């Protein structure tokens, strides 16, 4: 049996008139699918194995940070530069000088003058036995350390016997008061009284500029040696500072 098909051609028996057309029409579709498969395979091959998981979101690769400049290291603090030469620095304010010494138990009350050193290296002492001398190169009563030395002649050819002649009679525990130029009264209590030959005098101890603050009162004692013109011994009273209502 023959059937007419468009275009005047007769379709063979047993075939649907649309079968051939359908097959022919399907070829371009198959070619397109093949091309799409080739493209998919190529893409899959280039990207690696696929998985059922959704693709990870693309992340931007961070740009390389610009290199930091090298650290200059810790900044050294500014250190003040001062001239250390002699005379360049201001002289520290000197502590007020002693101007009066009083030992109430002895009835002793004397003015005090600042003194230095004689040419022979001994301490200067006022020629008037009624006046005492403070060794001005040593500590003063207000200084935080060392011995304040006050000395006087026991007597004099011109002024007679001086108040310091009574130092040998003072007892430990007696009060001594030293007034300084600023009007402050510094109170002390006698620790000990010593009489020693002059050649054995502990001069370094009496004139010590270190250690606890203290007062040393010095005069002459013992027998008078007419051949050398002075007494054989020294009498020294050592007193420690106290703080009370009267001073210190």
Place of tokens 């940070």: 65
Per domain, the residue ranges of the chain are: 16-46, 98-242
Is the pLDDT at 231 greater than 80, yes or no? yes
CA dist 241 → 50, 189, 228 (Å): 100, 6, 36
Query: What is the pLDDT of the chain when averaged over all its residues?
Result: 76
98-242 belongs to which CATH class?
Answer: mainly beta
Name the pLDDT band for 93 (thresholds 50, 70, 90). Answer: confident
With a threshold of 0.75, does the pTM exceed it?
Answer: no
Phi and psi, residue 159, nearest 5°: -115, -5
> How confident is the model at residue 224, as a pLDDT?
87
Residue among 140, 166, 162 nearest 152 (CA): 162
pLDDT digits (tens, 9 = 90+) for 39-57: 333 333 333 444 444 444 4
């Amino acid at each position: 049996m023959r059937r007419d098909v468009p275009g005047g051609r007769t379709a063979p028996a047993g075939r649907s008139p649309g079968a051939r057309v359908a097959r022919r029409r399907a070829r371009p579709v198959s070619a397109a699918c093949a091309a799409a498969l080739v493209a998919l395979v190529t893409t899959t091959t280039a990207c690696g194995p696929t998985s059922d998981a959704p693709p990870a979101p693309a992340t931007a690769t961070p740009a390389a940070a610009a290199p930091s400049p090298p650290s200059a290291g810790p900044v050294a603090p500014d250190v003040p530069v001062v001239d250390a030469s002699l005379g360049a620095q201001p002289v520290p304010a000197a502590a007020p000088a002693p101007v009066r010494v009083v030992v109430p138990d002895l009835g002793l009350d004397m003015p005090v003058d600042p003194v230095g050193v004689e040419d022979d290296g001994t301490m200067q002492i006022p020629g008037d036995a009624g006046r005492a001398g403070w060794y001005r190169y040593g500590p003063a009563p207000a200084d935080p350390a060392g011995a304040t030395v006050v000395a006087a002649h026991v007597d004099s050819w011109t002024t007679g016997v001086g108040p310091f002649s009574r130092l040998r009679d003072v007892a430990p525990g007696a009060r001594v008061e030293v007034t300084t130029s600023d009007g402050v009264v510094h109170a002390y209590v006698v620790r000990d009284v010593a009489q020693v030959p002059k050649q054995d005098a502990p001069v370094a101890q009496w004139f010590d500029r270190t250690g606890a603050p203290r007062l040393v009162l010095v005069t002459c004692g013992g027998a008078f040696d007419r051949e050398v013109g002075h007494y054989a011994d020294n009498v020294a009273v050592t007193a420690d500072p106290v703080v009370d209502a009267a001073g210190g």
